[in-house]
Chains A and B, each alone.
Chain A
Amino acid sequence: MADQATIDTVQSQAGERYKYGFVTDIESVKAPKGLNADIVRYISAKKNEPAWMLEWRLQSFERWLAMREPDWAKLNYPRIDYQDAYYYSEPKAKPKLESLDEVDPKLLETYKKLGIPLTEQKLLAGVAVDAVFDSVSVATTFKGKLAEAGVIFCPISEALQKHPDLVRKYLGTVVPNTDNFFATLNSAVFSDGSFVYVPPGVRCPMELSTYFRINEAQTGQFERTLIIADKGSYVSYLEGCTAPMRDENQLHAAVVELVALEDAEIKYSTVQNWYPGDENGKGGIFNFVTKRGDCRGARSRISWTQVETGSAITWKYPSCILRGDHSVGEFYSIAIANNFQQADTGTKMVHLGRNTSSRIISKGISAGRAQNTYRGLVSAHARAENARNYTQCDSLLIGNRCGAHTVPYVEARNPTVQFEHEATTSKISDDQLFYCLSRGIPAEEAVTLIVNGFCREVLQHLPMEFAVEAQKLIGVSLEGSVG
Chain B
Amino acid sequence: MMLDIRDLHANAGNKAILKGLTLSIAPGQVHAIMGPNGSGKSTLSHVLAGKPGYEVTGGTVTWQGRDLLSMPAEERAAAGIFLAMQYPVEIPGVTTINFLRAAVNAQARLRGEKEPDAVTFLRRVKEEREKLNMSDEMVKRPVNVGFSGGEKKRNEVLQMAILKPALAILDETDSGLDIDALKVVAGGINALRAPDRSFLMITHYQRLLDYIAPDFVHVLAAGRIVTSGGPELARRLEAEGYDGIVKVA
Contacts and interface: CB of A to CB of B under 8 A. Distances in A.
Interface of A: 429-432, 434-443, 445, 449-450, 452-457
Contacts of B78: 440
Contacts of B110: 440, 442
Given A440-B74, A441-B102, A453-B93, A434 B163 contact: no
A429 B89 CA distance: 10
Contacts of A449: 91, 94, 98-99, 102
B94 A453 contact: yes
B91 A453 contact: yes
Contacts of B91: 432, 435-436, 449-450, 453
Contacts of B103: 436, 439-441
23 contacts: A430-B52, A430-B53, A434-B51, A434-B73, A434-B89, A435-B88, A435-B89, A435-B91, A436-B99, A438-B82, A438-B85, A440-B77, A441-B106, A442-B74, A442-B110, A449-B91, A449-B94, A449-B99, A450-B91, A453-B92, A454-B93, A455-B93, A456-B93
B101 to A, nearest CB: 10
A445 B89 contact: no
A441 B94 contact: no
Contacts of B52: 430, 434
Contact of A438 (B53, B77, B92, B102): B77
A431 B89 contact: yes
B203 interface: no
Given A430-B53, A442-B106, A449-B99, A437 B73 contact: yes
B50 interface: yes
Contacts, number: 80
A445 B102 contact: yes
A438 B73 contact: yes
A432 B94 CA distance: 12
A455 B94 CA distance: 10
Contacts of A456: 93-94
Contacts of A431: 89
Contacts of A454: 92-93
A482 to B, nearest CB: 12
Residue with the highest number of chain B CB atoms closer than 10 Å, among A431, A432, A439: A439
Contacts of A438: 49-51, 73-74, 76-77, 82-83, 85
Interface string B68-111: 00001110111000110100111111100011001100110010
B50 to A, nearest CB: 7
B142 interface: yes
Contacts of A440: 74, 77-78, 103, 106-107, 110, 163
Interface in B35-55: 49-53
B163 A435 contact: no
Contacts of B51: 434, 438
A435 B90 CA distance: 9
A348 B159 CA distance: 44
A450 B89 contact: no
B99 A437 contact: no
A444 to B, nearest CB: 11
What are the 8 A-B residue pairs with the smallest beta carbon separation, nearest first?
A453-B93, A453-B94, A440-B77, A456-B93, A439-B103, A440-B107, A437-B73, A435-B89
Contacts of A453: 91-94, 142
Contacts of A436: 91, 99, 102-103
B77 A432 contact: no
Contacts of B53: 430
A49 B159 CA distance: 64
B159 A439 contact: yes
Given A436-B103, A439-B159, A453-B142, 20 more contacts: A432-B91, A435-B85, A436-B99, A437-B72, A437-B73, A437-B77, A438-B76, A438-B83, A438-B85, A439-B99, A439-B102, A439-B106, A439-B107, A440-B74, A440-B163, A441-B102, A442-B74, A452-B93, A452-B94, A455-B93
Nearest to A394: B92
Contacts of B107: 439-440
A188 B165 CA distance: 65
B208 to A, nearest CB: 21
B50 A445 contact: no
B164 to A, nearest CB: 12
